[in-house]
């Protein structure tokens, strides 16, 4: 059965993320290593890291996905931001490796003042700074609006241009796909999506799915996640998307709005109901 999970909280303690995932009966999970809105990164001792790995093994949560903080911008026009981003990215990757994480999901920033080739070169230079052939691989995520990562053709081109041994594939987010103009409610758009992946890349490069509904309408370019079935994609859209055979074994991570674990329970129940019907 494909791994299903949510983004869990490390509030109070790193181990809390595992206990949340276990309580929700997840088989995978995603975390931030610290607040995604600050540059500071925690200093965890070996005992905490060891306990985290032990508890993860006990509950059988695989893969472990780390999401990058929103501040990282490898192609900023401000040199200080680029330097800080490279430093933070490298520190995070090594901390993720210490936790034995499998994937590190990163949104690449765009820059309206730069041509694509300059963006590719600066991004790759940032990745080369952490070149070490570690187990934890960077996954580049599609975005709702960008000349380098919103449309499938651009996403695969970017991957090819910035790839190093540390960049291991792609993460596809359904809300972002929808906002970028792929209407997942329509069979013809699902076919377009499949054909574009086959034409410009390879399904094997996609390692992870972020499953989120969208508050905004198709083609809006607006990244606003919504509870599954409550947004513009809706239940029929997810039924169609989840039928894509080439994606049917990939881990699913929900990043839906959350005020409490009850929100996660409702979204997971929605997803499990669809998967149960598709698998029957």
For 248-279, what is each residue's pLDDT tens digit?
A: 999 999 999 999 999 999 999 999 999 999 98
Residue keyed to tokens 């239940």: 235
In this prediction, residue 43 carries a pLDDT of 87
For 58-87, what is each residue's pLDDT tens digit?
A: 999 999 999 999 999 999 999 999 999 999
In this prediction, residue 76 carries a pLDDT of 96
What integer best gives the mean pLDDT of the chain?
96
Please spell the DSSP secondary structure of 161-226, one letter per residue.
Answer: HH--TTEEEEEEEHHHHHHTT--TTSHHHHHHHHHHHHHHS-GGGEEEEEE-EESSPTT-----EE
Q: Does pLDDT of 1 surpass 90?
A: no
Distance, in Å, from the CA atom of 65 to the CA atom of 219, rounded to the nearest integer, reads 28
Q: What percent of the chain shows pLDDT beyond 70?
A: 100
Q: Counting runs of H as helices and runs of E as strands, what totals does the chain give? A: 9, 10
In this prediction, residue 131 carries a pLDDT of 74
Global pTM reads 0.97
Could you state, in order of their start, the residue ranges of all structural domains in the chain?
4-279
45-48 long-range contacts (CB < 8 A, ≥24 apart) are 48/14, 48/15
Q: Does pLDDT of 12 surpass 80?
A: yes
Phi/psi of residue 70, each to 5°? Answer: -75, -15
Domain 4-279, CATH number (from 3.20.20.150, 3.40.50.720, 3.30.1490.20, 1.10.275.10): 3.20.20.150
For 114-146, what is each residue's pLDDT tens digit?
A: 999 999 999 999 999 887 889 999 999 999 999
pLDDT band at 219 (very low <50, low <70, confident <90, very high): very high
């Amino acid at each position: 059965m494909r791994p299903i999970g949510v983004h869990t909280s490390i509030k109070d303690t790193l181990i809390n993320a595992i206990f949340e995932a276990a309580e929700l009966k997840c088989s995978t999970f995603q975390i931030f290593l610290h607040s995604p809105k600050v540059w500071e990164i925690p200093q965890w001792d070996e005992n905490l890291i060891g306990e985290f790995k032990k508890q993860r093994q006990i509950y059988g949560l695989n893969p472990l996905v780390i999401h990058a903080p929103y501040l990282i911008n490898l192609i900023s026009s401000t040199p200080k931001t680029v330097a800080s981003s490279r430093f933070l990215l490298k520190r995070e990757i090594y901390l993720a490796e210490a936790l034995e994480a499998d994937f590190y999901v990163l949104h690449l920033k765009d820059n309206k003042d730069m041509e694509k080739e300059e963006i590719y070169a600066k991004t790759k230079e940032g990745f080369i700074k952490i070149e070490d052939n570690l187990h934890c691989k960077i996954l580049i995520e599609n975005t709702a609006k960008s000349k380098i990562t919103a449309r499938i053709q651009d996403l695969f081109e970017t991957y090819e241009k910035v790839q190093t041994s540390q960049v291991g594939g792609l993460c596809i987010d359904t809300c972002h796909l929808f906002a970028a103009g792929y209407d997942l409610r329509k069979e013809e758009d699902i076919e377009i999506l499949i054909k574009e992946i086959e034409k410009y890349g390879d399904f094997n490069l996609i390692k992870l799915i972020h499953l989120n509904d969208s508050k905004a309408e198709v083609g809006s370019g607006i990244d606003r996640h919504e509870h599954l079935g409550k947004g513009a994609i809706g239940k029929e859209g997810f039924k169609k998307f989840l039928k894509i055979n080439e994606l049917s074994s990939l881990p699913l991570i929900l990043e839906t709005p959350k005020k409490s674990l009850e929100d996660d329970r409702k979204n997971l129940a929605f997803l499990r109901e669809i998967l149960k019907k598709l698998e029957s």
